[in-house]
Structure 1
Amino acid sequence: MDAAELIHRYAAGERDFSGVDIRRIRLSRADLYQISLKNAILSGASLTDADLRGADLTRADLASVNMNGASLVGASLYGADLTGVEMRYVDLYRVDCRNAIFAGADLFEADLRETNLENANLCETILRKANLRQAKLDGVKLHDADLRDADLRGASWQGVELVRACFEGANLSYTNLPEVSLNEANLRKANLNSSILTKASLSEADLSTASLKGTKLDGANLYGANLSGVDLTQADLKMADLTGADLSYANLTGADLWGAHLTAANLNGTILPDGTRHN
């Protein structure tokens, strides 16, 4: 089936194109509102600026598809293969993306507010400047993902895998991240104010110049972490492991360090809980 035939049949009222093989089809700017492409093969297709609102793309093969600028509000991408897809500036507000594969995809500045991404594969995915407010990220794999300057306020993170993910400049304030694994993650300049990181694992993570005002880090593993220049005002660090951590010039005013392990930690120029500076 070519583009002309599909558009003609769609215009005649047909909506169900489940299972069709239309790989490499060109449907840029096409009006495909509420089309069903369930289990369809569209790998290598062009769907730039297409209207796919309410479309059913459940388990569709969308590998390497160009969907830049497309609108998918209310669509279903459940279990879809979006490996290497281009979805820059795409509107995915409240879309069902559970179990979808986005490995290596480009979602620069995509709107993913309240999107359900449970158990999705987002390894090596570009999510720079993406809006992920209130998104469901439970069980998501984000290994080596680029989340620089992304907005993640209010997102859910239960069971998420974040090894080596980059959150530089990201907004994670008021986020609930207990027991999350952020080992070796880049969180430079990130906003983690008032977040819950109780018993989180942040071993070797780079948190330099980040803001963690009032953040709960009780029982957290910060072994060897870079916390230089970090604002930890009023932070809860009870029983935290800060062995070998770099706390140089960090602000710990009012922080609770009861039972914290600071063996071999760098406290050069650190403002201590009582407001005095360590020399």
Structure 2
Amino acid sequence: MSDADEVQNRYATGEKDFSEVQLTGVNLSKTKLAGGNFNRANLAGANLSGANLFGIDLTEANLTGANLSGATMIAATLVNTNLSEANLSDADLSGTSITEANLTGVNLTGANLTAANLSMSNLTGASLKKANLSGLSLLLATDMSGADLSLTNLTGANLAGAILIAANLTEANLTGANLTGANLTRANLTRANLTKANLRYATVVETELTDAKIAEANFMEAARLST
């Protein structure tokens, strides 16, 4: 299957199983595919901007370079999904499971990731500027080395064991965040809000904390605090 009209027609008749379909570069912008099963589907370079993908299953799917800007992906499953270099700016990914996924170089600017689970995913070089990761989002052992998290809302987020080497967290809101054991080597936390954040056992070597708010933050046994 490689035709957008065929996908939409089959979906309109009630079909939801599109596992392993080949839809490289297909244009499905603003379409409704909510609840669809796209396990191991190839959607590399596809245009899904503004699409309704509520509850969609994209486990092990290939979305390399896909355009998902403004898409509704609430409660979607993206386990072990390849989203490298994809555009997810302003997408609604609240409550989404994006575990063990490849998100290298992905654009998540302004995305809503409230209560999303990104544990063990690779976000190296990703842009999450102004994204919302509040509401107990899980980023356990997530690699965000070099990622842009400036102005991001990470209130109450769980970043235990996260790798944030050279990440840009300028003016990020990390109030009450769990950064236990996180690696913040060379990270920029200028003017970040770390009020009541837990940085126990965190690595903060050459970390920039100029004008950061650290009231009631826990730096107990953090490695080599440097400002």
Where do 1:84-233 residues align within 5 Å? 84-133=85-134, 134-223=136-225, 225-226=226-227
Q: Distance in 2 between matches of 1:27 and 1:131?
A: 26
Once the two structures are superposed, what CA deviation does each residue of 1:142-190 show, in whole Å capped at 9, x if it has no partner?
Answer: 1100000101111112221111111000001112222321110000000
8 Å contact from structure 1 (residues 142, 160) kept in 2 = yes
C-alpha displacement at 1:196, in angstroms? 1.7
Task: Please give the alpha-carbon distance, in whole angstroms, between the structure 2 residues aligned to 1:39 and 1:150.
Answer: 31
Number of residue pairs the alignment of both structures matches = 225
Match of 1:71 in 2: 72
CA shift at 1:199, angstroms? 2.8
Aligned to 2:21: 20
1:55 Cα deviation (Å)? 0.8
- Any conservation in 1 of the 2:161–2:179 contact (CA below 8 Å)? no
1:49 is matched by which residue type in structure 2?
G
Q: With CA pairs under 8 Å and 6+ residues apart, which has the higher RCO, 1 or 2?
A: 2
Q: 2:180, 2:187 → 1: CA distance? A: 16
Percent identical: 35
Once residues 200 and 55 of structure 2 are traced to their aligned partners in structure 1, the CA distance between those partners, rounded to angstroms, is: 39
Residue type of the alignment partner of 1:208 = T
What SS does the corresponding residue of 2:57 show, helix, strand or coil? Answer: coil
Counterparts of 1:29-48 in structure 2, within 5 Å, are 29-48=30-49
TM-score, scaled to structure 1: 0.79
- Partners of 1:42 and 1:3 in 2: how far apart? 11
Offset, 1:35: 1.1
Is the Cα–Cα contact under 8 Å of residues 162 and 179 in structure 2 kept in the other structure? no
User: Does structure 1 conserve the Cα–Cα contact (< 8 Å) formed by 2:201 and 2:222?
Assistant: yes
Deviation for aligned residue 1:38: 0.7
How far residue 111 of structure 1 moved from its aligned partner, in angstroms, is 0.5
C-alpha distance after superposition, 1:113-147 (max 9, x if no partner): 11011110111000001111111101100110000
Unaligned 5+ runs, structure 2? none
How far residue 198 of structure 1 moved from its aligned partner, in angstroms, is 2.1
Larger Rg: 1
Cα pair 1:205 1:222 within 8 Å, conserved: no
2-structure distance, mates of 1:152, 1:37: 30
Considering only aligned residues, what root-mean-square deviation do their CA atoms show, in Å? 1.1
User: Any stretches of 5+ residues in structure 1 without a counterpart?
Assistant: 227-279
